[in-house]
Structure formats: C-alpha cells, structure tokens
Structure 1
C-alpha cells in the first residue's frame, strides 16, 4: 500500500529539517521498519514550504500503531519547533488521494 501526504515547514527551516532527517535516529528508523514502512521519501516545495511524503506500508493498522510509540512521540517533540504541529506535537499531516499509479 502506498501513502502520500503533505506537511508544512516554518519559514527558514528548510536546512534544519533536512539536517535532522539526514541524522535520523537509528531507533526511529527501526520503528518505521517494524511498523511496516519502507521506501520512505519526503520532498520539499521550496516556494510553499510544503513537504510531500511518500511511503510504502504493509498494513494501515500496523502503520498507525507506530504513532503511539515512545520514540515516535520523542521525534514529534524534536521536530515541533520547525514545522506546523497539532497540540500533541504530531505534524499537521494531510493524506493525499492517489489519482494515478504506474508500476
């Protein structure tokens, strides 16, 4: 299953966002894989500061359980100062509808 979603950076945080992801904690990488995530890519639209995420997941329910892990909540707290977040520090994330796919 493929998921696409968008998030938003605060102005001037592009380099910091990229730096933090280039130094992604091994525990966070493990959590993503343990919850069925692979081929995870995030793109940035520099004009709008919109992030577009693409990830392949095994199962929606398994993937959703990753949000409740301690390491994921720690990551959300770590990222909250540079991007739009909800009151629990989760990123404001809008799922995108698949309109075309080609293997």
Structure 2
C-alpha cells in the first residue's frame, strides 16, 4: 500500500456541514473509492485553522489518479465546493504532505 497525506482548506463556519456530508457519504462514492484502490481513508480538521488533513492508503498511484475523472467524483466535488477552497474544476485545493516518520 502507498500511504498518502494531504491538506485541504475548509471555509469558515462550514465544519458542521462538512462533517454531516461525510457522515452521509453516498454509497456510490464509497464504492468508487474502493474500486480505485483507496483504503483506510480518514480526514481530520484543525478547528483553529479550518485546515483539513487527509490520510489514505492506495494500491496504485495511476489507478487512484483515474478516480478524479469518474462521474460520481465530479458530482461529489460539485456538492462539496460551497464548503471548501476549490480549483476551477471544483476539485478541492489540496497540498500533499511529506512523510517524515512512520512506525507500524
């Protein structure tokens, strides 16, 4: 498995709605994440900064990258766009984080 970590940026006042939408994650979105090799996915929020920290384990970088172009993923991005800083295609503004320590 490949471990990936990243940060995204939540708009002020949107934390409760962001959490609610993820607690109600669409079954099709869950299925797509698994279909494209995503496992053990978590997102954490720093309430002081509104920065979201994501962690996911993926099977293959290329396969995971293809998930961005699925219809369900584009629909999810559009649904979440009002709550986050996004790019022109509604994908979340996201910065990869470098792993500096890991212990199994």
TM-score (norm 1): 0.99
Stretches of 4+ aligned residues off by more than 6 angstroms: none
Match in the other structure for 2:9: 8
Match in the other structure for 1:31: 32
Which string of whole-angstrom CA distances, capped at 9 and with x for unpartnered residues, describes residues 26-84 of structure 1?
00000000000000000000000000000000000000000000000000000000000
Point out where structure 2 has 5 or more consecutive residues left out of the alignment. Answer: none
TM-score (norm 2): 0.98
3-state SS of 1:52 partner: strand
Tell me how large the CA RMSD over aligned residues is.
0.3
Q: Distance between the aligned counterparts of 2:59 and 2:83, measured in 1? A: 29
- Structure 1 residue 90 corresponds to structure 2 residue 86: no
